[in-house]
Amino acid sequence: MKYVLMFVETEDYANELAAMGEAERGAAYDEVGRWFAEHDARITRHVHLQPAHTATTVRLQDGRAEVSDGPFVEGKEIVSGFVEVEVADLDEALAMARSWPACPIVEIRPAAS
Q: Which residues bind another protein (CB under 8 A)?
A: 1, 3, 88-91, 93-95, 110
Burial class (CB in 10 A: 0-12, 13-18, 19+), 50: exposed
With respect to another protein, which residue has the nearer C-beta, 12 or 107? 107
Output the smallest distance, CB 20 to another protein, in A: 29
Output the smallest distance, CB 46 to another protein, in A: 20
Of the chain, the end-to-end C-alpha distance in Å amounts to 9
Output the smallest distance, CB 3 to another protein, in A: 8
CB within 8 Å of 46: residues ≥ 6 apart:
36, 81, 82, 83, 84
